[in-house]
Amino acid sequence: VNLHVAPNFTGRVVVQLKEGRHVCDYPLVNGEHIATLPSFLEMARLAWWSVTPEQGVCNA
């Protein structure tokens, strides 16, 4: 995979592959995180945030 980062880059990179081939990549900058929505909500709850859906919204 040929990443599009500077030669002296140190850090994390998100790579998207399709059928084993490189589609794109994105270097994460300091402070950026990736998580699923359930993981994000759990982190918010652990930080004492109250996470509630809007009225009338269902999880269909």
Q: Which value, to the nearest 10 degrees, does the dihedral of the CA atoms of residues 4, 6, 9, 15 take?
A: 0
Residue-wise pLDDT tens digits, 6-59: 999 999 999 999 999 999 999 999 999 899 999 999 999 999 998 887 876 666
pTM of this prediction? 0.60
Rounded Cα–Cα distance for residues 39 and 41 (Å): 5
First vs last C-alpha separation in the chain: 38
Distance CA 40, CA 2 (A): 30
